[in-house]
Amino acid sequence: MAVGNSAEPAIRSDARRNRAQILAAAQRALAERGTTVSLAEVARRAGVGAGTVHRHFPTKTDLLEAVMQQRVDGLAALAAEHLTDPDPGSAFFALCTHVIVTTPGNKDLCDLVQSDDGWPRALLRGAGNRFHRALGALLASAQRQGAVRPDVVVTDVLDIFTGCVAIQRHRRAEDPLAPAVALILDALRTRPLSVTEPARIDRNETLESNEIPAPCPVCSAPVRRPATGRPARYCSPACRQKAHRQRSSPRLFAGS
């Protein structure tokens, strides 16, 4: 009996370790190749047999849901940890930055959640609710401190996540927060960090010769200044059309 009792915990430990390896491998594979990745590919990356993957996740849908739940529950846990921070305002903006910077790699999963194929499922909805509650508590704490505008609600923050993730997606994973994203988050503050100087009106109402125009918001390339007319916003017609398509595309699931 002693041998059997000692063997059972070891089996459970191996099963937990295999499941964790499968989920980690699936997250990497999905970020690189999207939801078309096969269970066999996930098994190869996790270093386990295909049968092991199927025992834990009988279908790809089961695996996708588990990856999404792990992602959202991780965000909920992070938000809950930030509740003990002595500076709730800084903690709130740190969480916002983390969500925006780390979500673009989950694009296909986010799109799946928005589909009409029965998503989100009950398990994932539960994780989403836990994240929203933790985010709401952190937001309320930051507002009591006076760091965040009092008229902001959780749904506003989720909407901002959706828009900011779309902006951040055009930057590489190792790049810092996009300047436009920083400006949007700054607008949530009671006292914005960025101070806009009063507009200077020259006699000829033209830009100073040494003034550098803002880069293209799509590809960050320099924008040529036209000799006459309104200042150009994009570096080319292609970038202008791409920006229009992005504005017209469906919104993402912010908590994914």
Question: Which residues of the chain are modeled with pLDDT < 50?
Answer: 1-3, 113-116, 119-120, 195-211, 248-256
Contact status, residue 123 vs residue 69, Cβ threshold 8 Å: yes
**Token pair belonging to 242:** 């791409």
| Residue 2 tokens, joined | 């002693």
What span, in angstroms and rounded, lies between the C-alpha atoms of 131 and 79? Answer: 7
> What CA–CA distance (Å, rounded) separates 210 from 216?
18
Q: What is residue 24's predicted lDDT score, i.e. its pLDDT?
A: 87
Which residues 6+ apart lie within 8 Å of 143 measured at CB?
Answer: 149, 150, 152
Task: Give every CB contact of residue 217 below 8 A, 6+ residues apart in sequence.
Answer: 167, 180, 233, 234, 243
The DSSP letter of residue 189 is B
Residue 36 DSSP code: G
Nearest to 80 by CA among 124, 131, 36, 9: 131
In whole angstroms, what is the distance from residue 127 CA to residue 201 CA? 53
Residue the block writes with tokens 């990745």:
37
- What pLDDT sits at residue 243? 64
Residue 18: predicted pLDDT: 87
Q: Quick one: how many helices (H) and strands (E) in the chain?
A: 10, 0
- How does pLDDT run across 135-173, given as a tens digit for each residue? 999 999 999 999 999 999 999 998 898 888 888 887 766
Rounded to a whole number of angstroms, the distance between the first and last alpha carbons of the chain is 46
Residue 103, pLDDT score:
77
Can you name the residues that pair with 148 across neighbouring β-strands? 189
Q: Residue 174's pLDDT is what? A: 64
The domains located in the chain, with CATH, are 14-58 (1.10.10.60), 60-192 (1.10.357.10), 216-250 (no CATH)
In the structure encoding, which two tokens stand for residue 164, read together? Answer: 């900011």
Q: What's the confidence (pLDDT) of residue 238?
A: 72
* pLDDT (0 to 100) of residue 235: 72
Quickly count: other Cβ atoms within 10 Å of residue 128's Cβ: 23
- The residue assigned the tokens 């790809």 is 60
For 178-189, how does the pLDDT look when each residue is reduced to its tens digit (9 = 90+)? 899 999 999 999
What pLDDT does 149 receive? 95
Locate tokens 């992602």: which residue? Answer: 71
CA distance 57 to 51: 10
What whole-number distance in Å separates Cα of residue 121 and Cα of residue 109?
A: 13
Q: What is the pLDDT of residue 255?
A: 42
